[in-house]
Amino acid sequence: MSLLSLRKEKERAERKAELCRKHLQTIEKRIQQLGTAQHEGRLSSEDHARLSSPGGRPLQSYRNFYLEEGRRHAAEAQRLGKEFLKAARAWTAFGSIFFLLIVGALFLGPELTGNVIFSLNEAGSSEGWTFTQNASVAWNATGPVSGVTITGSYEGEGPARVYLEWESGGKNISKLLFAADNATRFERQCIATCHLDGAERRFRIRAELPPGAAIEIERVEQVLARLSEFEAEPDGANITLRGTYVTGKFTLSNLQGERMALAVYGEGPLTPYLTLDSSLAVLEPGESRNVTYSLDLLNAPLEDMRVGRDGRVRQEIVARFLPNGSFTGEAPRETYLLSLDIERPLLSPAQQAPIRTLILIAGAVLLLLNAWLWLRRAERK
């Protein structure tokens, strides 16, 4: 594991331990409040038992869980800290040798070229056009195209745009390749052409630029994307949640012939309550790795539960490809969809109190209304 990965994993373990500590404090405080209220006679035994088991799970079990999880994550953070120091010493010992090798490769070896965007296979390239006014040139791809990038420079002031265009079904398709408002150098730009669907082999490169400006396109590259860079299996799960806590896992697999890095994160209404065992997955060619997740909805506000038409809450866990080097555009992603049927009540004691208060107020209003109507009938008699 790299130094960066070790440091990130250590920080993640420390954050998890701190989060467990905060949850533990909240739960212990709630247990103490309920015990005090029962002892002082402000809470009956039945209410105490009900409020001490939100969602059918005792608060004490939550306490034990977070206590154990906190200890585990703290021990993991300590272990990773030791590994980080050990790896840092090793890197220091070999740093000078590594630096000399890099210098030798740059100045004595052949010219190095970077990976094509998204680390996919370069299918072909074209060299050289210079635009000093609005114009277009023809460009023919050498095979099937699933992405196009351009490299070059822009000299001038004002908005400059470069488009990739082709005919499809009698219609003109135009996709933005490059955009800038000031002089700049650009490498493998593909703003709206990173992933193309149904593109033809005969294209036009069209430039729009202000007077006195110039766009030099040094290279146009077409990209052959594989059908699948990586995959998540299974692609989702349907869960009926009767308590407030759920855990699960899925598998990420590298389908490329080279090492890859994937960012793993949540998208959806339950993201603030989602914990992942890692936010970065580095996979060797053909390697698979389990990603474990947990959702802790003990303190989730009711308004955060955005329910679909079928009565289920949907939460995505996204694995996004991290390309080598800089790029423009959206990197490929795989999505694990977690569909939750949350059986009510899913309310913490803190959330139950306002609802009970509203019920009491509504009951009091109905009683007063009935009393007023009874008095009116009595007056008429």
DSSP 83-132: HHHHHHHHHHHHHHHHHHHHHHHHHTSPPP-PPPGGG-EEEEEEEEEEES
Residue 90: other Cβ atoms inside 10 A: 11
List, in sequence order, every residue forming a beta bridge with 221; answer none if it has no partner.
125, 149
| 3-state secondary structure at position 164 | strand
Terminal-to-terminal C-alpha distance of the chain:
89
The burial class, CB within 10 Å (0-12 / 13-18 / 19+), for 368 is: exposed
The Cα–Cα gap between 108 and 101 comes to 10
Task: From first to last of the 381 residues of the chain, give the pLDDT tens digit.
Answer: 565 676 778 787 888 888 778 878 888 888 888 888 888 888 788 877 877 776 667 878 777 877 888 888 888 888 887 876 776 666 555 554 544 444 444 344 333 222 233 333 344 555 678 999 999 998 887 766 778 888 999 999 999 999 999 888 788 889 999 999 999 999 888 888 877 766 767 889 999 999 999 999 998 887 754 445 678 888 899 988 877 888 999 999 887 767 888 889 999 988 988 999 988 899 988 889 999 999 988 877 766 677 877 888 999 999 988 877 655 556 778 899 999 887 755 444 555 556 567 777 877 787 787 777 766 665 555
Q: Read off the pTM.
A: 0.39
- Write down the CATH superfamily of domain 117-224: Galactose-binding domain-like (2.60.120.260)
What was the pLDDT predicted at 267? 92
Picking from 304, 330, 302, 301, the residue whose alpha carbon sits closest to that of residue 315 is: 304
Contacts of 20 (CB under 8 A, 6+ apart): 66, 67, 69, 70, 73
Matching CATH number, 226-347, of 2.60.40.10, 1.10.600.10, 1.10.357.10, 2.30.40.10: 2.60.40.10
